[in-house]
Amino acid sequence: MEFINKENINNYLSSRIPTLLIIFIMINIISDIPSENIISDILSHFQIQYLFISLFFILLTSYLSLINKKFLIYLFLSITILGIKIFNISPINFTNIPNTNNSQAIKIGLFNVLTSNTNYQGLINETEEQNPDIIILQEIDDLWINNLKPLNKKYKYNIKHIRYDNFGIAMFSKLPIIDYQIEKWTGYEIPVIKAKLKLKNKDILLYAIHTLPPVSNEYLKTRNEMLKEINTISNSNKEKIIIAGDLNTTRYSHAYKKYILNSNLYDIQTNSNNIHGTWNAKHPSFMRISLDHVLVSKDINGTDFNIGKDFGSDHLPIFVKIMP
């Protein structure tokens, strides 16, 4: 076809790339604004994706600058964005903790099962392969509990709080649970498991938390309220603490930086220098973001972080090892 030639392609790119790049720059500016605004919050999570997009713009503007020198300014802007993204995704809460990949470590598995998911055997198979000492399940209902009865043989200690609104929560443990409470957080009474466990002759508080998704400004405010409560717990408690759950935020959000980075906890995924995402499991790897976290006190060793297999949920499970 005659109209598809190099000159037409160059003209097409030259007329559209500047506009697209300006839009991309505006998205990045909004994502970096430290405000409790739903748009800013949502855009803040995609720093890794922005890095790849900025690389794409660098390639295009490099090519166009060979044709027209005015595109050198667009090349410079693309490189600047790339530099900012590299800085943003670098470990922001790195703690020099020894690796715990040994037989003495405690392994924790975290599963957001997706209530409507019926691949119960897929989860059981994953637990058999990974063999965690503690399993935390989120979004469980009575169907999930009934179909996970095979876990009771290996996990003698368990806590189950069934709900039908995607906020049911459960914990299965090989290790003794000394005491537990089902706390109700915020005005929405979101259930949170607070369990005291004996790990290697040491008492540890383990919180299983599933925050509200920030799909509205009200839900965003409530999610941030729950993150603030995590901060308060970590800064006012002298006991060793583990926080595990779908926190509905990434480490790049302003609320995470405000409440988690300023707590006495560190994120094992960040500490492991792992940037792979857990949600959405149905998307290609480079499109996923990490909403699922295991946070631990800074006097707990934990660097072994792994993402498990797709078992039908919209979240991939995660597995960590800790040394109390």
Q: Is the pLDDT of residue 5 over 60?
A: yes
Q: How many domains does the chain have?
A: 2
- Answer with the one of 89, 118, 153 that is the final residue of a domain: 89
Q: Is the pLDDT of residue 164 over 80?
A: yes
57 and 193, same domain (yes or no): no
Q: What is the CATH classification number for the domain harbouring 257?
A: 3.60.10.10
Is 101 part of any domain? no
pLDDT of the residue at 36: 80
What value does the mean pLDDT of the chain take?
91
pLDDT of the residue at 241: 95
127 and 84, same domain (yes or no): no
Three state DSSP letters for the chain: CCCCCHHHHHHHHHHHHHHHHHHHHHHHHHHCCCCCCHHHHHHHCCHHHHHHHHHHHHHHHHHHHHHCCCHHHHHHHHHHHHHHHHHHHCCCCCCCCCCCCCCCCEEEEEEECCCCCCCHHHHHHHHHHHCCCEEEEECCCHHHHHHCHHHHHCCCEEEEECCCCCCCEEEEECCCEEEEEEEEECCCCEEEEEEEEEECCEEEEEEECCCCCCCCHHHHHHHHHHHHHHHHHHHHCCCEEEEEEECCCCCCCHHHHHHHCCCCEEEHHHHCCCCCCCECCCCCHHHCECCEEEEEECCCEEEEEEECCCCCCCECCEEEEEEC
74 and 118, same domain (yes or no): no
Q: Is the pLDDT of residue 96 over 60?
A: no
- pTM equals 0.90
52 and 117, same domain (yes or no): no
162 and 226, same domain (yes or no): yes
Q: Is the pLDDT of residue 271 over 50?
A: yes
pLDDT digits (tens, 9 = 90+) for 203-230: 899 999 999 999 999 999 999 999 999 9
142 and 272, same domain (yes or no): yes
144 and 228, same domain (yes or no): yes
152 and 264, same domain (yes or no): yes
Range of the domain at 298: 106-323
4: confidence class by pLDDT, cuts 50, 70, 90:
low
